[in-house]
Structure 1
Amino acid sequence: MQDDEVFEFAPRYEIGDARIDAEHRHLFSIARRVQAALSLPADAALAEARLAVAELLDYTRTHFAGEEVMMAATGYPDLVGHQALHRELLYQVRDMEMRIDLEGLSASLDLAHFLFNWLTQHILHADRRFGEFLADSR
């Protein structure tokens, strides 16, 4: 992610399931809030980044749980591996949340970069495989 790159959901991130794609769009919008916070004055930026990270953690837990229920219901063969990826992200975002409290804006910038890279790569690879599995199952 370049500093001037906008965190936008694009058609290449669609996996073919309307609900999951809508949830991914929402995750992108939360991540955009972290990115936008970086252009605010320091105190406001930190406060907005903290709010966005809290929302991200809450929404991500809900999204992951729903995605995993869908995977289990459809017999997705890589459910366990996918769950491990989800747990790792939650761990890393919680770690970033603590870093924001300790380090401030530099951690917020790291979080924005991390989110962009993780979310896009996770969707393009792991979630795309699940989308292909769903399409083949129908």
Structure 2
Amino acid sequence: MALITWSETLTVNIKEIDEQHKKLIAMVNELHSAMGSGKGKDVMGKTLGGLIDYTKTHFAFEEQLMNKYAYPGYISHKADHDALTKQVAELYTKFQVGKTLVTVEVMNFLKDWLTKHIQATDKKYSSYLNGKGII
């Protein structure tokens, strides 16, 4: 069973970003599935590493749009991105050296952060960008 299911409550009405969010959700679900089926550390590490890399790419895309169109909440939004990137990088480092595992708590953190970030923070910039003709 998927940890996160895509629904209209997660859409930001910007096609490219919605597609990226769907991919992020699929990657979180893939990590959750790997954890639930007891996949080895190598598989878990590769999946987590891929999720981190794609998240950075996604954040850069969002930030470029916000910056290009002078979104007034850019600085605080980028700070949210930077904080998550730092947290997940620390988690990944601990995972790689065997100091932590991908647990239900980690999965719930990722799920909660992603869904809340999309539904609250991303919807703010999406309304602004939609008003600038970005869909």
Could you tell me the TM-score, scaled by structure 1's length? 0.86
State the SS of the aligned residue for 1:38: helix
The aligned counterpart of 2:7 is: 10
Structure 2 unmatched ranges of 5 or more: none
Question: Which of 78, 81, 85 is residue 76 of structure 2 equivalent to?
Answer: 81
1:115 corresponding residue in structure 2: 110
Q: What is the CA–CA distance in structure 1 between the aligned matches of 2:90 and 2:104, rounded to whole Å?
A: 14
The alignment-based identity, stated in percent, is 26
Are the equivalent residues in 2 in contact too, given 1:37–1:46 (CA < 8 A)? no
User: 1:22 aligns to what?
Assistant: 19
Tell me if structure 2 keeps the 8 A contact 1:72–1:79. yes
Aligned residue identity for 2:81 = H
Q: Which structure shows the bigger proportion of residues in helix conformation? A: 1
Alpha-carbon separation, structure 2, partners of 1:89 and 1:57: 10
With over 3 angstroms needed to count, the CA separation of the structure-2 counterparts of 1:24 and 1:16, relative to structure 1, is: same
Indicate the residue corresponding to 1:36 in structure 2: 33
Question: What is the distance in 2 between the residues matched to 1:51 and 1:35?
Answer: 13
Alignment length (residue pairs): 132
Matches within 5 A, 1:56-135: 56-101=51-96, 102-105=98-101, 107-135=102-130
How much does 1:5 deviate? 6.1
Output the CA distance in 1 between the equivalents of 2:120 and 2:81: 13
* Alpha-carbon distance, 1:96 to partner: 1.6
Give the C-alpha shift of residue 50 in structure 1: 1.0
Runs of 4+ in structure 1 deviating by more than 4 angstroms, as ranges, are: none
Aligned-residue offset at 1:137: 2.5
* Structure 1 residue 67: Cα displacement: 0.7
- Normalising by structure 2, we get a TM-score of 0.88
Q: Output the CA distance in 1 between the equivalents of 2:119 and 2:86.
A: 21
